[in-house]
């Protein structure tokens, strides 16, 4: 089995909630910091607690959605690979060359 799929088999046993928090949490934290304090900062105005709280909420939702999406994509890839491994090989015919006319 592919090493990535083996790692996913271990990860999925640890649970979806843990994965979503670990995959989405750091992503949303980094994006929160970058977007709130650097790119999306209102020009000429100080950052208010309300603005920071709003951005924290939005990026937390984004991180959750990112984590769930990554879980779904990895799970779909894993299940497809496992199904292909379990499928029996095609039956070979004894007459593999076409008959002559």
Answering whether pTM is above 0.95, one says: no
84/7 Cα distance (integer angstroms) = 18
Question: What pLDDT does residue 101 have?
Answer: 63
The pLDDT confidence band at residue 97, using thresholds 50, 70 and 90, is: low
What CA–CA distances, in Å, run from 74 to 6, 8, 14, 19, 64?
Answer: 12, 7, 14, 11, 15
Note the residue count of the chain.
101
Tens of pLDDT along 8-51? 999 999 999 999 999 888 888 888 888 777 777 767 778 888 88
- Kindly state the percentage of the chain with pLDDT values over 70: 87
């Amino acid at each position: 089995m592919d090493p990535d799929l083996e790692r996913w088999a271990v990860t999925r046993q640890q649970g979806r909630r843990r994965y979503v928090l670990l995959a989405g949490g750091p992503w949303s934290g980094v994006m929160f910091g970058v977007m709130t304090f650097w790119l999306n900062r209102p020009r000429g105005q100080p950052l208010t607690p309300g603005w920071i709280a709003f951005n924290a909420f939005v990026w937390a939702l984004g991180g959750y959605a990112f984590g769930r999406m990554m879980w779904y994509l990895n799970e779909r890839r894993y299940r497809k690979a496992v199904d292909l491994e379990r499928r029996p090989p095609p039956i070979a015919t004894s007459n593999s060359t076409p008959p002559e006319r």
